[in-house]
Amino acid sequence: MVKKAHNPHRREESLSRDRIIAESIEILDSRGESGLTFRALSERLATGPGAIYWHVANKSDLLTAACDTVVARTMTATINGVTPKATIRALALGMFNVIDAHPWVGSALIQAPGQLPMVRILERLGQQVGALGVPGEAQWAAVSTLLNYILGVAGQNAANTQFARTLGTDRYNFLGAVATMWTQLDINQYPFARSVAEQLPTHDDRIDFLAGIDLILRGLESRQGE
């Protein structure tokens, strides 16, 4: 019987960067950022850390690559609207949904300023802001405002969901407890908080999010032709 020649590079060849990133996303979704370690990844891939380091430099590089993969999918999946405004709304909602599904993405974006996943979002927003007719000198401020709103609100929504899970409750009961606390505040010092308390458990996060996007867009549309 002729023995097959052993190829020491076979495992490394089959261990592609794309496969490493895909497994990293699975770990991040199930265990969060703290659960993404090279040891955990090595166990899932049935390989040694050295083989992984051949494709990614460190955890920061890996986290950014995983984030970029998710963001790129979102940019590709976002349907172009019939107007720039519709496209911005679709893009914003797409990012809201992806951060809701992958809470670690918001943190990863903040940790990678100026890198490709952030540039993808900036570019897509910037093109649409320009198409809205916003003057060139005002486009950076407009895009920054949209980006900060999207990441801020989507990130806070994801954080609230994670916090509720940590407490062993769901969104409705968590917000219900907050609403109860607000109704007990001093009405002279916190009249607004008390007035909206009953809306907390039943409000729709996505509707509220898009309402904020529309407020920004109305402001930008008012600047057309300046």
Confidence at residue 224, expressed as pLDDT on a 0 to 100 scale: 60
Cα separation, 86 vs 103, in Å, equals 25
**Mean pLDDT across the stretch 193-209?**
92
pTM across the whole model: 0.84
Q: Residue 213 CA to chain centroid, in angstroms?
A: 16
Q: Over the stretch 13-60, which tens digit does the pLDDT of each residue have?
A: 478 899 999 999 999 999 988 999 999 999 999 888 888 888 988 999
Name all domains of the chain by residue range, CATH numbers in brackets: 80-221 (1.10.357.10)
Q: Which two tokens stand for residue 88?
A: 């911005």
DSSP per-residue letters across 196-219: HGGGTTT--HHHHHHHHHHHHHHH
Q: Which two tokens stand for residue 81?
A: 């609207």
127-136 burial: b if 16+ Cβ within 10 Å, else e: ebbeebebee
Cα separation, 122 vs 141, in Å, equals 11
**Mean pLDDT across the stretch 76-101?**
89
